[in-house]
Amino acid sequence: PQMLVLHGPNLNLLGEREPGIYGHTTLSEINASLEDAADRAGITVECLQSNQESALVDRIQTARSDGTRFILINPAAYTHTSVAIRDALAAVAIPFIEVHLSNPHAREAFRRQSYFSDLAHGVICGFGAQSYTLAFEAALAHLHTS
Ligand code: DQA
């Protein structure tokens, strides 16, 4: 795919998981709206959710040779812990946007630390499901100018 969308742990529960923080939109709805936007833009997108760090690392490594030109990633809890996913993104050197539904800066102190932000093309957080569509638009603009 030209665009790869990765969702980290517990995001499979979106819609029922702490809706006051993460909203009522499900992951299937988020993926469907990204797939629609990709169709309209004439690009290919693949969405993957995993609760496993290793699956996310493996998929990022594969992106090196499958035509992926941009990655949107919500690392979820791995945002605050995963040197391995950070290193995978650095290794493949594909530009990425870090996405969060909530605004981690307005929550517990441990959520302020991200292993991704300094490597990211940009960070979009705090807009609920709309964070993904905003990130998609930014990624598209980047693809059209690179
Ligand atoms: C999250 C924020 C993280 O701190 C948290 O662990 C998540 C979701 C978000 O999208 O707001 O699982 O990445």
- Domains along the sequence of the chain with CATH: 3-145 (3.40.50.9100)
- 41 C-alpha to center of ligand 1: Å? 28
Residue 146 pLDDT greater than 90, yes or no: no
Q: pLDDT tens digits for 21-64? A: 999 999 999 999 999 999 999 999 999 999 999 999 999 999 99
**Which residues touch 128 (CB under 8 Å, ≥6 apart)?**
22, 23, 25, 101
Atom of ligand 1 nearest to the CA of 131: 10
Nearest CA-CA partner of 137 in 21, 17, 43, 27: 43
Establish whether 89 is an annotated binding residue.
no
ipTM value for the complex? 0.99
Tokens coding 112: 């302020």
Which residues' Cβ are closer than 6 Å to ligand 1?
10, 74, 76-77, 79, 100-102, 104, 111
- Residue 68 — very low, low, confident or very high, per pLDDT cuts 50/70/90? very high
